[in-house]
Structures are given as structure tokens and as C-alpha cells.
Amino acid sequence: MAVGGNALTQAHQSGTIEDIVANAAGIAACLAPLVRSGWRIAVVHGNGPQVGNLAIQQDEASHLVPPQPLHELCAMTQGQLGGILVREIDRLCGAGTAVALVTHVGVERDDPAFDHPTKPIGPFFGAQEAASLAADRGWDIVEDAGRGHRRVVASPVPVDIVEIKAIRTLLDAGHVVLAAGGGGIAVSLTADGGLSAMNAVIDKDHAAAALASAIQASDLFLVTGVDAVLLDFGTPHERPVHVLSALEAQEYLAQGQFPAGSMGPKVTAALHFLRDGGRRALITSAERLAAAAAGDVGVGTRIEPAHAAVVSAT
């Protein structure tokens, strides 16, 4: 299950602890019925707004305290957001139910994403402020889905989950496992066989798909701000779609129906998961999750593998 960093700090919020905890409580309330009905769940939270805030604090205090690099800020958000989600899940499901594991996610050192930053982090800026931040701090800044300007950082493809064995062990022991938070701490292999941390923010939907594949999950839940995927978004023909085959989803993606930075990565992550043998990917809101997971086909957007006959024809 993937939950966005924007679900923890919403677009109109600045990132106070009170807001994050209240949002986490809402996520826990939607998760608890699934836990009670027997689902074993690994949760991957995002960290875009929070890691961006940490980056601003590093810069602002750099005359007093050595700023930590981006990979360390990702690690910090795993501690903070993982801890908050654990407390809110435990409040509803019992102390010791949820655990948060600091997780490293392997990437390729020569992933082209390192030269083409795309992942938005931190707050929204106006055009003028964005231009001066780009000049002063060397940030890459883009317009984000029409909502304002945001800093973007490299977002390489997740290749493997370093702590996968421990995650499986904890799931098997009955825990709700918070893992690969913020997409994980990106690492690449060094010549001596060690792990070198990389300055990047891996997309949490892609990390969740990689994790779901690695643990051979039946389902991948991609929780977002809308109840279902919309087709022809922003046009008079805008409509929700509740069931898609992988082939249909692939076609809509190719048509540009799903914008990068919002629904695009979710549909792509869902397709990766189904390609790797997943049974079902669900894109829906936290509020609709329990109903959609239970199989209500009029709720959320369910993406399923193509029929065998169709796959063999492609």
C-alpha cells in the first residue's frame, strides 16, 4: 500500500506536526478495518512535502549547523513519518502492531534520472520566488501540475529493496510494516560491495510496486486524493473509470491521459506490479480503500492483468 506524502501534509498545509498527526490518524482509520479483516499489509509512505521542508531548514541554518545531504533527509522522514504512522495505527490496532523499518532501496548509479530531476519536493512557490530560489540555491524548479512551482530532484528507478528479508520476516510475524518510506534511502553498490547513499527521492508508488513484487503481494493499493482515476480529466467528458485491464491502462497512458507527477506514476507502478505477477492494483482514496479492497467494483479504479489470450496476442 502506498500513501502519498501529500496525504500527510496536504497542499494547503505548511507541514505542522498537528496537521501531519491528524492526517496520519485519518490514514490509520482507513487502514484499521483492513488489518482487522486479516490483510497483511506493508505501507510505503511518500515524503515530498516533508523532505522539502527539511531541505529548507538545512539551507537556512547552514551558517550554524552543517547541512545534511538529501539522502539523509530522506532517512529522517522515514524516522518521523514512520513513527507517526506507527503510533496512529497502534492506537487503533493495539501497541506493537505496526513497525517502521528504515529501508534502503537500490538504484543504478548511472540511472539517467540523475541528470534529469523530475520529483517535486517541498512547498509551492510563486513564479518570481521560484526564479530567485533557482538562481540563489541552484535548485531545479518546475511548475507542478498547475498548482504552482516546486523544487524537483532526481528520482531513479527502484531496482531492489535491501531490507527485503527483514520486511518479509516482520510481515510473517503479523506486523503492519512501514517500509521504504519516502521511496526509501536510495543506494547504489560500491566497488567494495558496500552501499553508497545517493541524493535522490525515489517515487513512492514505484518503490511500493517494487516492494509488492518482491514480497509477492496479491494486491497493490495506491492511495491518493481522488476516489477513482478520471479519464478526459478537465474536459466536459471527464469521468471516473472503475475497472481497467493492464492493456487498456497502457493505452490510456500512451495517450497522455495521466499526467506525470500525479496519476502517471501510479498507473505505471500498477502496470509494473501486474507485469511481475500481481493479481490486482487499486487506485483510490483512503476513505474508499476498505470498500474497494473488499471487491466493490463501483469504488476506486481496479487494474487487472490482461486475459491470457490477449497477452499471448501481443
Binding interface with its own copies (CB under 8 A): 14-17, 53-54, 56-61, 64-66, 68-69, 72, 75-80, 82-84, 86-88, 90-91, 95-96, 99-102, 104, 123, 162-166, 169-170, 173, 175, 178, 185, 187, 190, 192-197
Least Å distance, CB 91 to its own copies, is 3
The residue annotated as part of the active site, out of 119, 182, 261, 300, is 119
Is 204 an annotated catalytic residue?
yes
Distance of CA 65 to the CA centre of its chain: 30
SS3 122: strand
Q: Which is nearer to its own copies, 174 or 225 (CB)?
A: 174
Report residue 52 as a C-alpha cell: 522539502
Amino acid at 166: A
Least Å distance, CB 254 to its own copies, is 37
Least Å distance, CB 233 to its own copies, is 31
Is 165 an annotated catalytic residue?
no
Distance of CA 46 to the CA centre of its chain: 4
The residue annotated as part of the active site, out of 6, 26, 148, 199, is 6
Q: Which is nearer to its own copies, 7 or 85 (CB)?
A: 85
Is 295 an annotated catalytic residue?
no
Provide DSSP, 143-163: E-TTS-EEEEE--PPP-EETT
Report residue 292 as a C-alpha cell: 474497494
Least Å distance, CB 162 to its own copies, is 6
The residue annotated as part of the active site, out of 5, 183, 261, 300, is 5
Q: Which is nearer to its own copies, 33 or 259 (CB)?
A: 33
Q: Which is nearer to its own copies, 169 or 255 (CB)?
A: 169
Q: Cell 505542522 appears where?
A: 16
20-44 exposure pattern, b = at least 16 Cβ within 10 A, e = fewer: beebbbebbbbbbebbeeebbbbbb
Amino acid at 205: D
On whether the CB atoms of residues 154 and 113 are closer than 8 A, the answer is yes
Catalytic residues: 5-6, 119, 204, 266
